[in-house]
A = this chain, B = another copy of it.
């Protein structure tokens, strides 16, 4: 859930380590990442990594926590802004028809990390928490639209669940196929849903 610099307000060493993790994930993906390879991207002593993290999974879960804290603090719902605009901005970002190489690589790594959840409780707990945060973010936008009088009095939680799930499905399909998923088509039909279900006539 990226904006240009998710690492700006962290302590310097931690910042450098999280950036190294991001770079190593983009380069190697989960399957081939090791603490050694994260260390290769890290400008300080590798021993600093081993002092703080016992395993690559422990470090990766800490990395995911950083990403979601960034999402929470940096992307608030703006009461002063039109809810439909906020929803469209979010969808423009998450259902972009094409992703640039680095973002595609990072999104692919996120798919791999997420797939650790069925057998790893720490990942499972993280994605349960991040799902709740993203759900609340979308539901807040829907609630705002209802308050602003633009949206019908739908159930914000149900609407958020559909939008959130479709976004996650698009992420999964585009990172696991040879461009089989037509993201523009998905966006088009989500727009139809929004206009027919959400927006007051």
Contact = CB atoms under 8 A, between A and B. Distances in A.
Nearest to A121: B178
Interface in A170-187: 170, 172-173, 175-178, 180-182, 185-186
A177 B127 contact: yes
Contacts of A109: 118
Most chain B beta carbons < 10 A, residue from A172, A178, A185: A172
A53 B108 CA distance: 28
A177 B118 contact: no
Nearest to A123: B176
B115 A32 contact: no
A111 to B, nearest CB: 5
Nearest to A158: B185
Contacts of A145: none
Contacts of A170: 165, 169
